[in-house]
Amino acid sequence: MTKVFQISLGVLAAIGGFVDIGDIVFNAAAGATLGYQLVWAVVVGAVGIMVYSEMCGRVACIAKRPVFDVVRERLGYKVGLTTLLASQFVNAMTCAAEVGGVAIVLRYLFGFPYRPLIAVALLLLLVSVWFLPFEWIERVFGFGGLLLIVFAVAAVKLDPNLGALGHGLIPHIDTPSPLIWCYFAVGILGATFMPYEVYFYSSGGVEDGWVPPHDLKLNKLTAIAGYALGAVLSISIMVVAAELFVPQGIEPGFLGTVALAAQTPLGEAGLLLALLGMLFAISGAAIDTSLAGAYNMAQFFGWEWGKYRKPGGAPRFTVTWAAFFGLAFLVVISGVDPIFVTELSVVFSVVALPLTYVPILLVAGDSNYMGAHANGRLASTLGWLYLVAIVVISLAAVPLLVLTNMGEG
């Protein structure tokens, strides 16, 4: 696989995983509620997912093990099974939210009723994963999601307060509701650390047969560049929300509100680019989550797996990702608000996160597995620092959800 295609693996994982329906609405809500106060959270989250993703990629390259293979081995069957169930629950919720998000964006684009569009969204996603080879999934959804750069353009056009933006890089509370500040901080960190991104990324690395030293460098570049771009897009959404919504007292409760933020400075072209960018990014995230769910099951139970294979070459893996889409369809068609489901999935994924992070941290630092490529001083320091951060936010997430009424006060 050429270098360009390999980097696009990271771009897909980054765009689809970093900027999914949860990130779009959460960053817009944080910007509209708190202005620039949580820019630092996006940066801290981005560095964290770079660390996590780089370790996963390195483990895939050197030890040839994807995440759930390592989870079972290092945590044992008992804890590993609990981790699997928790992760699959979160994957299923996230997939449902993304499928619903795709239907919502299709509605904004075409104006047709919502419920039939849920079926259209399901069909498009099933057909894409069934027929498109892995590289084409990356190209179509990864690069399509890059249209979200329109928010960066909109942010520049709105002539943001750069002083306030810079001040936002330093954690500070400037609101009468510190609990709401904490809720959004945990939400943004949780949304950037969605683990399905790394399940997908590490499995792709094993499928692709990464070998050192070339692919190790590529892994680092992909992790850094991909998630850095994702962070820029997330901050752009926060900026447009801060500049447009705070002065007018608008609380973004819909994806359409975020699209309006691109339309206001950039007109119809901005609106269409924003909607198309959202369509590809959210679709990419839906595909990521369904495949991640299938990878997890297959790797934990030892089934054949792989998106490079035709569907018949990995039958139970195929049935599993299709089942994730099917379950997502049933959840969304029942009438549950996809944005509500997203907020819950972000919170619950934060709770389960330490269980998948710890085995990777241990293996990445273990020279029995990694030889000379075990965590160096920087990776080790960052890895353990982020473990502390992850444990803190995992303990705080549910209480904050309840105490702040999901950020509404």
Partner 1 sequence: MSERTQLDLVLRVHDQQIVDWAGRRCGNVDDVAIDGEPGGSATVKGLLVGRDATRRRRPRLLAFVAGPAFGDAPEVEVSWSEIEDITQVVKLKKDATELGLGAGDDRAAKWIERIPGS
Partner 2 sequence: MTEYRFSKDSESLQSLATEGSLLADGVVDGRTTSAFVLTHAQELASNTEKLASVVASTHPETGLAEKMMRLAALAREAASQLRTLAGHPSDAAAAARVRSALTNTADAAEKLAKSL
Structure tokens at 300: 């934990």
CB of 108 to partner 1, least distance (A): 31
Please report where in the chains the tokens 């951060």 appear, as a residue: 389
Burial of 247 (0-12, 13-18, 19+ CB in 10 A): exposed
Q: Which of 24, 38, 45, 72 binds partner 1 (CB under 8 A)?
A: 72
248 binds, among partner 1, partner 2, none (CB under 5 to 8 A by kind): partner 2
Distance between CA atoms of 385 and 317, rounded to whole angstroms?
35
Within residues 116-135, the interface with partner 1 by CB under 8 A covers 130-131
Closer by beta carbon to partner 1, 193 or else 305: 305
Please report where in the chains the tokens 């000379």 appear, as a residue: 372
C-alpha distances in Å from residue 185, one per residue of 66, 102, 138, 167, 170: 29, 26, 30, 16, 13
Residue type at position 41: A
The angle that helices 196-207 and 255-301 make with each other, rounded to 10 degrees, is 50
267 binds, among partner 2, partner 1, none (CB under 5 to 8 A by kind): partner 2
CB 241 within 8 Å of CB 188: no
Q: Give the footprint of partner 2 on this chain (CB under 8 A).
A: 107-111, 248-251, 253-254, 256-257, 259-260, 263-264, 267-268, 271-272, 275, 408-409
Closer by beta carbon to partner 2, 265 or else 359: 265
Residue type at position 70: V
Is residue 302 within the footprint of partner 1 (CB under 8 A)?
yes
Please report where in the chains the tokens 């959840």 appear, as a residue: 331
Structure tokens at 141: 């959804």
Distance between CA atoms of 43 and 235, rounded to whole angstroms?
9
312 binds, among partner 1, partner 2, none (CB under 5 to 8 A by kind): partner 1
Closer by beta carbon to partner 1, 27 or else 83: 83
302 binds, among partner 1, partner 2, none (CB under 5 to 8 A by kind): partner 1
CB of 325 to partner 1, least distance (A): 14
Distance between CA atoms of 323 and 158, rounded to whole angstroms?
44
CB of 292 to partner 2, least distance (A): 30
Closer by beta carbon to partner 2, 62 or else 275: 275
Residue 74: CB partners within 8 Å, gap ≥ 6? 358, 359, 362, 363
Distance between CA atoms of 326 and 126, rounded to whole angstroms?
9
CB of 284 to partner 1, least distance (A): 21
Distance between CA atoms of 40 and 360, rounded to whole angstroms?
25
CB of 74 to partner 1, least distance (A): 9
Is residue 368 within the footprint of partner 1 (CB under 8 A)?
yes
Q: Which of 304, 371, 402, 409 binds partner 1 (CB under 8 A)?
A: 304
CB 184 within 8 Å of CB 30: yes
Is residue 307 within the footprint of partner 1 (CB under 8 A)?
no
Q: Which string of x and - marks every residue 82-121 that binds partner 1 (by CB under 8 A)?
A: x--x------------------------------------
Main-chain dihedrals φ then ψ at residue 232, nearest 5 degrees: -60, -45
Q: Which of 40, 114, 254, 303 binds partner 1 (CB under 8 A)?
A: 303
DSSP string covering 246-297, please?
HHHT----SHHHHHHHHHHHHHHHHHHHHHHHHHHHHHHHHHHHHHHHHHHH
56 binds, among partner 2, partner 1, none (CB under 5 to 8 A by kind): none
Piece of 155-163, 243-251, 293-301, 330-338 that binds partner 1 (CB under 8 A)? 293-301
Is residue 363 within the footprint of partner 1 (CB under 8 A)?
no
Is residue 340 within the footprint of partner 1 (CB under 8 A)?
no
Q: Which of 160, 212, 253, 311 binds partner 1 (CB under 8 A)?
A: 311
CB of 251 to partner 2, least distance (A): 5
CB 314 within 8 Å of CB 305: yes
Closer by beta carbon to partner 2, 269 or else 385: 269
Binding site for partner 1 (CB under 8 A): 63-65, 69, 72-73, 76-78, 80-82, 85, 130-131, 297-305, 310-312, 314-316, 318-319, 368
